[in-house]
Amino acid sequence: MHYRRWRIHGDTETTLKAANGDGYLQGGYPGHQVDGVRVFDHVKVAELALGKPLPPGAVVHHVNEIKTDCRPENLVICPNKAYHNLIHARMRALDACGDANKRACRYCKEYDSLENMRVYGNGASTAYWHTQCNRDAAKATYYANRGPLKVGVLEFGGERGTYALWSQKTGIKSSTISMRINKYGWSLDRALTEGAKNER
């Protein structure tokens, strides 16, 4: 309990308690029990302003992003979570670069117009990136996971070649060479000479 308070608030004395002990806070949102059912205050205020219950899937957005500010003029009823996320994405872009239509690249974190970016997904979770940033990240991941030897180009005895080329020269299957080096940790000399059928 104390660790959780410290992690969330930075100290162990701060607690999230509703005023006068007549409600609760869940995820920072104030609410009350109504006929044994928990109801968030911002949802109740939005429903009163709308004059009917919220449609299924609707999400209430706080304009000033203060979760406890449930004034009607601070609430916007979004038709779904995707629209709510779009509002937050536009607000972040406006704060970061002054243009609500730009998005941050998931790799370099720089804001750019959508014409210069690729889009993955639609709706509640959408990602944007520059094509070159995606290529660079994929290449970095590839080399980080595979290592220099696993890429497929080997240098041995002053010659440089792929697994297939060394397979032709030695008569050892390229998959066997790869396994010897990458799985079993054999040296290049041993992997390319032990059991070789052809003379180099």
pTM for the full model?
0.56
- The DSSP output letter for 115 is G
How many C-beta atoms lie closer than 10 Å to residue 83's C-beta?
17
The yes-or-no verdict on residue 106 having pLDDT over 80 is: yes
**Could you tell me the residue range of the domain that residue 166 belongs to?**
152-200
Angle at 156 between CA 151 and CA 157, to 5 degrees: 165
Whether residue 67 is contained in a domain is answered as no
Please check whether residue 89 lies inside any domain of the structure.
Answer: no
Q: What pLDDT shows up at residue 200?
A: 45
**pLDDT attached to residue 45:** 92
Q: Is 179 a member of any domain?
A: yes
